[in-house]
Amino acid sequence: MGEEHLIKRPLIFAYYVTGHGFGHATRVVEVARHLILAGHDVHVVTGAPDYVFTTEIESPRLFLRKVLLDCGAVQADALTVDRLASLEKYSETAVVPRDTILATEVEWLKSIKADLVVSDVVPVACRAAADAGIRSVCVTNFSWDFIYAEYVMAAGHHHRSIVWQIAEDYSHCEFLIRLPGYCPMPAFRDAIDVPLVVRRLHKTRDEVRRELGIPDHVKIVILNFGGQPSGWTLKEEYLPHGWLCLVCGASESLELPANFMKLAKDAYTPDMIAASDCMLGKIGYGTVSEALAYKIPFVFVRRDYFNEEPFLRNMLEFYQGGVEMIRRDLLTGHWRPYLERAISLKPCYEGGINGGEVAARILQDTATGKNYTSDKHSGARRLRDAIVLGYQLQRVPGRDLSIPEWYANAENELGLRTGSATATMNNDSFTMASCPEDFEILHGDVMGLSDTVNFLKSLSELDAVLDSGKSTEKRQIRERKAAANLFNWEEDIFVARAPGRLDVMGGIADYSGSLVLQMPTREACHVAVQKIHPTKQRLWKHALARQNAKGQGPTPVLQIVSYGSELSNRGPTFDMDLSDFMDGEQPMSYEKARSYFARDPSQRWAAYIAGTILVLMKELGICFEDSISMLVSSAVPEGKGVSSSAAVEVATMSAIAAAHGLNIKPRELALLCQKVENHVVGAPCGVMDQMTSACGEANKLLAMVCQPAEVLGLVDIPSHVRFWGIDSGIRHSVGGADYGSVRIGAFMGRKIIKSVASDLLSESCANGVTSDDLEEDGVELLEKEASLDYLCNLSPHRYEALYVKRLPETLLGETFLEKYEDHNDPVTVIDKKRNYGLRAATRHPIYENFRVKAFKALLTSATSDDQLTALGELMYQCHYSYSACGLGSDGTDRLIQLVQEMQHGKSFRSAEGTLYGAKITGGGSGGTVCVVGRNCLRSSEQILQIQQRYKNATGHLPIIFEGSSPGAGKFGHLRIRRRLQPEQN
């Protein structure tokens, strides 16, 4: 560690290790080993087995204390993290006993007279160190506030305090020793980058092979999973001929074929990796760092819901060391094409691998008093940045987040770029001339839409992607290469386009039959489809290997490439044999389809796209005898409440219908797409999203009564009125528990209202008289209400007069089912143990239907400030009704408050203010707010002021949605064919 640092006495390090996986323990070993070599004492606090440390460090200066202070990420299986269980386990492990933990750790740190606390990457260790008056340093490539961030989105906001507490704990840390392949970690005010921390090799490649009795010419793949999937059977045919597979961590009961070899429990994994030709496993810091260090190609399978993975994967692929395997092919044994591809790679990592030594030197210097840190930001500033990034970061910088300037290096390490998140364009920028010259348009019109022209241009450039990977966007090479092999350029390609939608009024009342007013967004999804005979389709290698294994010759295959996979750590490609959709002679059930797509969460997105084919098979009896190749490119951002899923579904089904000569009217197509989302994806959405995407027109509001989908017509937006959408940065999901529970509450309420009406009707008939409540046409009204088909057909005054007092505020699912048996909603299931908010969920659609009718009438009334004020007031009422249902969020409430401050500020009173109202949109619980204002320059300036003020308050720069574009029905489709290029001499 260098003689220049002369230490008078041995230093004492307390080194805390997270409970997540062996990778952390093994890299701690390497740092601790160098500290001990320098003559210091290291007390390791860990839940890992002793042998992990003692086999590498044989020294009386190593002290092991078996304590587990966090749980990491709880695995549902070998490849899937259970997000809710992870949060609950962390709460049980680290939150509930927090006071006891802190008291115990402070006392212990003082008892050993620790000079420095090191954490990889236990949050509470940093706080305990601060309480004990000891400096602390973290050594890691990720932090738990970032990892748990999206878990909170899925599990519910009541776990949010966990992320706040973790970030606050980390903010007590002196600085961060940051390892390559790192995630954003804004809770740390200073970071020092070190090389890869890699375990040293004990034996050469030749020595390992000689000891195992493996000739040098035999190709070896090491299966390094840290626990194989349960019930897994490994078969001889999984490997190419002449290959051997070394299996790490195999159970004693696992029987292996002759070309598989079980490694001993105490086998030293780095030596085994370095002696192999490639590795197969799941991504983690340990596997990636050792694959890069020893230049071993890594065939990896994605883990679900572990947010560290995209950053490690980017690093692995940046250095040309990675091949992604589809989980289905892993489990069914189609390994050959991936392994053969892997050994053709030439990994090119040339960076340092002595991170353990470098980190140890920094820790020693810090313990002796050296100051590596700069002037720190305020605790509030650091914590704010930590929470903002933790909750709202999307993984493609510049798409919807402006990262604090002091943290910009985190995004630039691997050539990623930052930029403005604003998605606004002026009206003139959305028109361009014509199609790229490479294509001839045989049918349809680009309608001057620049995004369509750009999509066609991207199609025309696909061939160039195969030329040595010149693209500077390393992240996109995989997607583009896959897309370049999709199409046969001698055949026709069909292109469809469908926009997202801005929910102006109506929102979650659609499933109760309300009138809704929806505007198609400027942002849209494009889908290119080619129907082609199986003998002419260009199959990906793994799909071809699967077909060859069946020995049936070419059969119809669906191949999909979806751009933007980095946004949510999903696979960029999906393929399946179309015969997989058949169950005997009939298409499979929707239940089986949901299970089919749920097998691999990294490819679950394909349900929105491939599900359209199954729906066409089941609902229209379409038989697909040809192969289908599809490219999906969506500019509608996910999780913003602007219906990205409907845009994908509608564009996909429109393109498939065009390619197969199906004449499906826009309304019918929208209803079919709703079936995709309800029955194949399993999300309980209404139909307004799909209807707007299919039937909407630019700069008009689609007016529709959702009973189930009666389009009343298009409402012109007056020239003096304008609508904007502002993204809160809080991820919205129509599949979330809150949306579903509110929907269930509304259907419960309808059932109870029908029952009450029946009881009142029976009473009146039995008594033979008419009560005060039943004067005039009361009996007829009760008869209608006793058979109420849609909740929105009940008027607000009838609700208040007869039913509101008979509805409980909340009701336990089990209690409801005992009395009423069923809530009669085909797309949701009541949880017997859940308490549902019933009165607010029932009241909202009844009043919302009235508000939307008033809103529609106001749009056609005389132009005045009173008109705009009334429109805005109706939107505010809608927003607060969402909140009463439990579908609000901190971010959307803040945006509403900012609009109100603009509206009621001094500038408004002086006739300069031009914004009049706003509301949360779509399914709620985050997402986007819709704002109404006067169509003038001052309004646009105020929207930009709100955008900046929101960023100043939260750190998140919102996307602004403005402008509109035609729906899929208006756009129709394009039929294009590539022009033949003249041969060159």
pLDDT of residue 156: 58
pLDDT of residue 768: 61
For 109, the 3-state DSSP assignment is helix
| All structural domains of the chain | 12-197+358-394 (3.40.50.2000), 205-350 (3.40.50.2000), 440-462+477-506+513-533+559-715 (3.30.230.10), 737-766+775-962 (3.30.70.890)
Query: Which position has the token pair 């992870």?
Result: 86
- Which residues form the catalytic set? 689
**Whole-angstrom distance, CA of residue 117 vs CA of residue 65:** 14
Global pTM value: 0.77
Mean residue pLDDT across the chain = 86
**Whole-angstrom distance, CA of residue 525 vs CA of residue 941:** 29
**Whole-angstrom distance, CA of residue 474 vs CA of residue 480:** 10
Whether the pLDDT of residue 644 is over 60: the answer is yes
What is the percent of the chain where pLDDT is above 70?
A: 86
Which H/E stretch holds residue 381?
A: helix 379-392
For the record, the structure tokens of 668 come out as 């019918």
Distances (CA, A) of 144 to 84, 120, 195: 14, 10, 22
**pLDDT-based confidence at 3, cuts 50/70/90?**
very low
Question: pLDDT tens-digit profile of 147-161?
Answer: 887 677 666 556 777
**pLDDT-based confidence at 685, cuts 50/70/90?**
confident
For the record, the structure tokens of 919 come out as 């509301």
Residue 453: count of CB within 10 angstroms of its CB? 18
**Whole-angstrom distance, CA of residue 101 vs CA of residue 388:** 28
What integer is the mean pLDDT of 421-427? 34
**pLDDT-based confidence at 476, cuts 50/70/90?**
low
Is the separation of the CB atoms in 85 and 74 below 8 Å?
yes
pLDDT of residue 478: 74
Question: pLDDT tens-digit profile of 51-76?
Answer: 889 989 999 999 999 999 998 888 87
Chain centroid, CA 790 distance in Å: 33
pLDDT of residue 576: 93
Q: Exposed e or buried b for every residue in 877-909, given b needs 16+ CB within 10 A?
A: bbbebbbebbbbbebbbbbbebbbebbeeeebe
pLDDT of residue 231: 62
Beta bridge partner(s), residue 138: 119, 176
Using DSSP bridges, classify how beta strands 710-716 and 700-705 pair: parallel, antiparallel or unpaired. Answer: antiparallel
Lowest-pLDDT choice from 29-33, 286-290, 328-332:
328-332
Which H/E stretch holds residue 531?
A: strand 515-532
**Whole-angstrom distance, CA of residue 285 vs CA of residue 369:** 30
For the record, the structure tokens of 229 come out as 């999937």
For 859, the 3-state DSSP assignment is helix
**pLDDT-based confidence at 467, cuts 50/70/90?**
low
Beta bridge partner(s), residue 104: none
Largest CA distance in the chain: 105
What integer is the mean pLDDT of 73-91? 84
Lowest-pLDDT choice from 133-137, 622-626, 637-641:
637-641
Beta strands, E only, 172-225: 175-178, 191-193, 219-224
Which residues, including other chains, have CB under 8 Å from residue 792's CB and lie 6 or more apart?
Answer: 509, 512, 513, 514, 515, 707, 845, 846, 848, 849
Using DSSP bridges, classify how beta strands 700-705 and 515-532 pair: parallel, antiparallel or unpaired. Answer: antiparallel
Question: pLDDT tens-digit profile of 593-607?
Answer: 999 998 877 788 899
